[in-house]
Each structure stands twice: as structure tokens, then as C-alpha cells.
Amino acid sequence: MILKVSSRFRHTGHLWAFPLALSLFGVEHPVLLAVALFFLVRLFFYDRAVFLLAFLLVAATVPRLWLPPEPVIENDTHEGIVVRVEAEREHPRLRLSTEDDNFLVYHERAGDVLPGDGLHVRGSVEFPDPPDFFGGFDYASHLRAEGIDGIIYADRIEERQTGPNPYRLRGIVSAYVGRHFTPETRVYVETFVLADRSAFSDEFKEMVAALGVMHLFAVSGLHVSFLALVFHKGAQKIFASAIAADTTLVLFLLVFMFLTAFPPSVLRAASAAILLVLNRRLRLGFSALDILCLVGAGILLANPFQIRHTGFILTFAVSLSLVLSRPLFAKKSLFTQGFLVSSVAFSTTLPIILAMRFEVNLTGIFLNILYVWFLTVLLLPGSYIVFLAPFLAPIYAHVVAFFETSIEQFHRFGRLMVPLHIPAGIAVFMYYTLFWFLQKGLVERRGRLLRAGILSLFLTTVFFSPHLTPFKEVTMFSVHGDAFLIRDAFNRCNILIDTGLPDDNLSLVNAMRRKNLRRLDYVIITHEHADHYGAYPDVARFFRIEETITNANQEPFEDKNIHCGDIVFFIYPLEAEHPGENDRSLVMRLLLEDEVYLFTGDIEHPRERTIIDAYDLSADILKVPHHGSSTSSTIPFLEAVGASEALIPAHRNNRFGFPAADVLERLRAMDLDVHRVDLEGSVRFRYLFGFRFKWSAY
């Protein structure tokens, strides 16, 4: 162990390592196994009992991550109880618990019902697709972590009679809050009483997330500790017996978990609080670290997919790091303790936050100190006070207004953003190893500057990682439309060909940010159809673009070899007039590592006929024209190109049924090796030491 933590149960004191490994590395399947095995070996040298317990946890947890979900009964009618309602979203939704399954139900009337209501829903069940991008958000795993079995886009919902149920209390409280509070204050009361922050506007969420203080709105250890302290003190005043006060507290925490519908942060904090009460009452001798690890192990045994839930990852990573860092906080002033706590939490969550946002606000450490104080003294207690005394809501509204104004001002003037992404796997593992190495030096007061310098050097290396990358790469992204990224080694050249449709999730942008790219030498837009240029404004917002070439301004660049690093590309002049925008697509030939790629935009039969008569189009790898439409890829064109491989960027959910069956038949007849976005997700070719390696997202 890096930091020794006292415990009467010495064996369980080492359990921190395994839940920490799972919570921090569980998002990557291979890494999960590697880290688990590493810590099993590490723990073996401490105690065989610990090894056995950790092995049992691995054996019970890891294999279940690859088990397919239990089949959902396929029918169009579903009856159940409403567990949770998110009415303020652009598309209102609710969570429905039936006799056998749990569903997310989308319907325009979802906001008209309350938790605890019975509901009759008509609509077929749908299931999320796997992630299209390398390292992209896995919505299916997220829903499994939430205990959701499917999604229903309902045709009709009808209320039905139902008896008492544990979710009725949430409905009563939700209705009470809706009646007594204005929208400005209601959102804060719902956040801290019901653990429901869905009513915050997207603009406000973006501001607090950019500042690095979004976690303050997740009901977690701070909030549960505050409630438990107040409730326990009150119970001690009412009851003469300490046992009665402890029992009342445990019952309250159980009710609070039901009231908030069991989000990971509340489940962790409330379960730990209950175990702390039992530990003290029964004199079990567990340390706080033991209890935290036992709670984490219990949650993972119940639902292994929690290790892919951001809420679980964040709450356990921060809690474990703070418990393990207690020697660092000893004998420090209140301000110094606040700074150290904020710094440890910031450092622990850095790779996790960067995996979601690809940038970090360096002033977040200081803002967290300020807002934790503001939350603890004003916002949090104020929300519970006005919940019990709604007539004080106008006063609370001034507190809320001051808070939101400060958020706006800090967002405008108080940010220091650094774009960065720490790749999952070995880089994340190295970061945490160096972080704990630094912390050990801070506790033992030796080698602090050297250790801090090593960690800083590592982060600097990650920041400049594109300049250290020895391989060349071609990636076909799974967008709606076309998008290809061509990279030379050592960041000498980055070329983006088309951008796909506009995407609110910024999937293409984030895929490139995961590579720590910040510059694009060329962005080439083959023609002016939205599925080829729609995401260009987002690309331009996040990347420095040196040159943009389109079919409208290609003349200065055409009919010559353009060198970009070791990449050479040639843009063919438009050899004949064509009336359609598809046939005016920019066509280019690109040489990379002795392989020739031909990018064809959306050209169709007329352009294919004229271009093969005018130019030599021979290539090794063909980007199939027009997503594999039957209007393209004629036999004469394919014979003129003479490629051995074909790339088809046709998204699996495209509404045109691309690629066409007759095109696939022609490609098979030509004996081409076909790579398809609809079957493989994003496809990546990587060149290194004269070899080419292929990966697919699926």
C-alpha cells in the first residue's frame, strides 16, 4: 500500500486498492482485467485472505460485464409504476418500473405524471446501439448501470389505478415542491431534496461544468453528511435512548435513498453512513476506509455495470482519495485543509473529467473552495429550510440569484481552460501511479519538488502527445455522411475530409480531441451537402484550421501534388460541366505509406464516365462514391480504379438504405475487401514500421 491506514481488521484495510482500480479503470475492458490482475498480485503479498476475497470479487464481477442483457418481453403495451420524471428536458421522459423490467419512456405528456403513479404505455421497446467511435460514450452500458432494460418512444400513455408503493413519497414531495416554489428556486430544492437536477437549463449546466463545479449539484457525501448530522442531533434531542436515535437515523437514510431513487452518490454515501452507525453500535472495529470499500464491493457485486457509470466512478474515486489522503490534511489550517481537499479531489477526478469534457479549468481548485463554503453555509441548508418553510422562498431566491450571477461572471472572466485528454489505459494508469507517488512525498516531506516535476512532465508529454506519435493513421468516422481524418506521424500533417451532418453531441469533434489534436492543416469539403459539411462550424470552433478547400474554391489547389508532411495529395480538376452538386464533388488522390487512396465525394454515373476518360484514377483503396448508392460505382469506374479495398461511409441508421445491394454485389465481383461503417462503426488504419493495422469500433 502507498499509504498505510490503521484498521483493527488489517485484512480489509487493503481492500481499497481493488475498488479504486475498478472505479478508475473499469471503463476500458482490457485495462479492467490488467489492473485487476495487477492488484491481485500486489495484494497476495500482503495476505492470502485478502487475495481470496479480491479474487472472489473479480470472479463474481468481471465475467458478468460480458453477459448479454436479459431478453425483454416484446410487446407494444406495458404497465408499471413511475419511478422518476424528468419534465424540464427538451424531450420529457420518465422511468417506468414494470413487473419484469425498467424502461425509459419518452412522451410529450411525461411531465404530467408523478412518481408513484400507475401508467399504461403503448410503444415498442428499442435498445441503444453500441458506440460508433473509438472511446465514445457507451449509452447501452450506461443504461445497464442505471438498471434500464430498454427505451420506449411511446405512442400513448394513460394513467391507471395503483396501490401504495415506495415511489409514492417521491411523487408527493415532487408535487409539494411544484406547488410552493417558483421555477428559479424549485430547481435547487429538487436538486438537494430529490437529487434531481434535470430542471437546470442546458446553458447553466454548461457553465458550471466548464468551471469544474458541476459535482456540487450531485447529492453526495457532503449533502448526506449534513442531513445525517442534523437528523441525528434532532433524534438525540427527542429520544432519550442513543439506540433509538441511531435506529431513527438508519430508517431516515433508507427512506432518503428511496426518495432520491438510488443515484450512485446517494447510495454510496447513505450506505456508508448506515454501516458507520452499525460499526459504532456493534463495535465491529472497521475503519472508514474498510466501510467505503465494503460498500463499493457490495454495489459492484449487485451491479457490475456501475463501474461504467460516471456517478459511481466519481463518487468512489473522490471518497477513496480523500480517505487515503487524511495524513496530508493533519495539523493544517482551515484554509490550507480546504485547498488540499480541493486539490486532491481535482487531481483524482482529472482523467475522468477530461474523458467527458476534453478540457480543464485550472481555476477550478479555487472555485471549489469558494463554492463548497457557499454551498455548506447558504445554499444547502437554505434549500432544506425553505422546503420546510416555503414562505421563506423569496429570501432564498436572492441567495440563488447571487449564486447564479457569480457563476455567470466567473464563467465569463474567471476561467483558465487547458485542452487535454489523458487516453484510457496505460496513460491513465501512469497518471494515478505518479499522483500517489507525489502524495506520498507530500506526506513524508521528501522529494516533493522532484515528484511534482515528474507528474508535470508526464502531463506535458500527454499535452504534446501528437508531436510524439510515431505512426500514420487514416480513420473513417461513423458520422451521418462522410468524415475522414488522415494524420502523418509526429503531428506533421492533419487532414480532415468532410465533417458529416451537424451533431449536438459533437461526436466527430470529440473523437479528434481524444487524440489531443488542436490543429488541422487542411479541411477539405467535397461538396455543399449537409452530410459533408454540416459539422464544419463545430470543427472550426475547436480546432485551428490552416486551410479550407471546397469544390467552390479548389482551382488554386487542383492539378498539382500538394505535400503536407509525408502525405501527398492531388485534387482533380472538374473535367466537365455537371448540373448536380453530387457530380461536382471534389475528387482527390492521396498517397500515404506507399498506398494510394481515392476520395470521391458523392459522384454518380455521369461524373464517373467523364472522369475515367480524363484522368488516371488507379488506387489501392477506394472511398466508394455516394455512400454506396446504386447511382454510383459502375463496373467501368471500379475497373478504372482497380482498388483492392473499399471504404463505405454509410451509417447504420441512414434513411436511404445505403449501401445498395447491387453495389455490394459489384464490389464482391471485383474481389474488393470492403470496410463498412454500418457493420463496423468507425474504422481505423494505422501505419507503423512498414505494417498496417486495422481497428473497428464494434
277 pLDDT above the threshold of 80 = yes
19 pLDDT above the threshold of 70 = no
What HEC string does 416-433 produce?
CEEECCCCCCHHHHHHHH
pLDDT band at 63 (very low <50, low <70, confident <90, very high): low
5 pLDDT above the threshold of 60 = no
pLDDT band at 59 (very low <50, low <70, confident <90, very high): low
The set of cell numbers assigned to 396 is 432564498
C-alpha dihedral, 608 to 612 to 614 to 616, nearest 10°: 130
What HEC string does 43-99 produce?
HHCCCHHHHHHHHHHHHHHHHHHHCCCCCCCCCCEEEEEEEEEECCCCCCEEEEEEC
Query: Residues in the chain, how many?
Result: 698
If you average pLDDT over every residue of the chain, what do you get? 87
pLDDT single digits (tens) 620-656: 999 999 999 999 999 999 999 999 999 999 999 898 8
pLDDT single digits (tens) 286-309: 777 778 777 877 887 788 778 778
pLDDT for the residue numbered 238: 86
- Cα–Cα distance for residue pair 281/293, rounded to 1 Å: 19
Residues 6+ apart with CB under 8 A from 112: none
pLDDT single digits (tens) 363-402: 999 999 999 899 989 999 999 999 999 999 999 999 999 9
Query: From 1.10.760, 2.40.50, 2.30.30, 2.60.40, which CATH number describes the 77-172 domain?
Result: 2.40.50
- Cα–Cα distance for residue pair 332/95, rounded to 1 Å: 46
pLDDT band at 499 (very low <50, low <70, confident <90, very high): very high
pLDDT band at 225 (very low <50, low <70, confident <90, very high): confident
Is the CATH number of domain 467-696 3.40.710.10?
A: no
If you search the block for the grid coordinates 467535397, which residue do you land on? 526
**pTM score:** 0.88
* Phi, psi dihedral angles at 249 (to 5 degrees): -65, -45
Distances (CA, A) of 399 to 185, 394, 560, 677: 10, 9, 65, 51
pLDDT single digits (tens) 32-58: 444 454 454 444 444 454 455 555 665
Instruction: Average the pLDDT over 257-266 and give the result.
Output: 85
Residues 6+ apart with CB under 8 A from 675: 476, 645, 646, 647, 648, 683, 694, 696
If you search the block for the grid coordinates 466508394, which residue do you land on? 624
Strand-strand pairing, 93-98 and 77-86:
antiparallel
492 pLDDT above the threshold of 90 = yes
Residues 6+ apart with CB under 8 A from 668: 674
533 pLDDT above the threshold of 90 = yes
115 pLDDT above the threshold of 60 = yes
